[in-house]
Amino acid sequence: MFCLSPFCPQEVSRGPIKLREILWTNRKPVSSVNEVWPKLYIGDESVARDKTRLSSLGVTHVLNAAAGQHRINTGQKFYTDIEVVYHGVEAADHPEFNLQPFFNSAAQFIDRALKENGKVLVHCAMGVSRSGALVLAYLMIHQSLTLAEAIMAVRLCRDIGPNSGFLEQLRKLELNHLYLLNLCMSFMTVMFYV
């Protein structure tokens, strides 16, 4: 169900218009939580605050993409009684907000949890933009998917819609990965012939 082609230099994601088309066609109603990758869930604020539901899902880690006093102010203390590991990202859901500095730390948090056989809930207010963007970054960084592949993989299970600024930042992440991959391949080629 989640098998997609590996990341390769020839697979650059389509432009922003095509990516938005992938995101916004054939939309389905969004539920409060969906498993979008094995043991990785995207949800909204209601499921993040429902400790009984989190326990029934077996969630061991929560990544709050809307953390902070004036947003969804949960935190590690909120989850103490159900032994959930918490990571907060104080992100605003507007195109001018720079989410890029959080891509790696969020992806590492998710990856560590999954490698420990945990289950991760990534949430924001509605489970659409901020949380969607951070899950896409994880899939690109740790599962080697292109942005288009990551979007299609998540959309099999949940409609997401990172805002235009987040989408552009994810495209930059993809281009940076391509640059590094090409650099490594060039270095390996040089080393082979030396």
Residue 148: CATH number of its domain: 3.90.190.10
Calpha distance 161→91 (Å, rounded): 15
Domain membership flag for residue 147: yes
- Asked whether residue 64 is assigned to any structural domain, the reply reads yes
Q: Is residue 9 part of a domain?
A: no
Q: From the candidates 3, 8, 124, 184, give the one annotated as an active-site residue.
A: 124
* pTM for this model (two decimals): 0.83
Structural domain total, the chain: 1
Is 148 inside any structural domain? yes
Full domain range(s) for residue 106: 16-193
pLDDT per residue over 120-162, tens digit each? Answer: 999 999 999 999 999 999 999 999 999 999 999 999 999 999 9
8 part of a folded domain: no
Residue carrying structure tokens 């935190």: 75
Q: 95 to each of 67, 88, 157, 158, 168, how far by Cα in Å?
A: 17, 20, 25, 21, 9
Work out the angle between the directed axes of helices 130-142 and 100-115 (0-180°, nearest 10): 70
Question: Is 124 an annotated catalytic residue?
Answer: yes
What span, in angstroms and rounded, lies between the C-alpha atoms of 169 and 77?
31
DSSP label at 81? G
Predicted confidence (pLDDT) per residue in 44-94, tens digit: 999 999 999 999 999 999 999 999 877 898 999 999 999 999 999 999 999
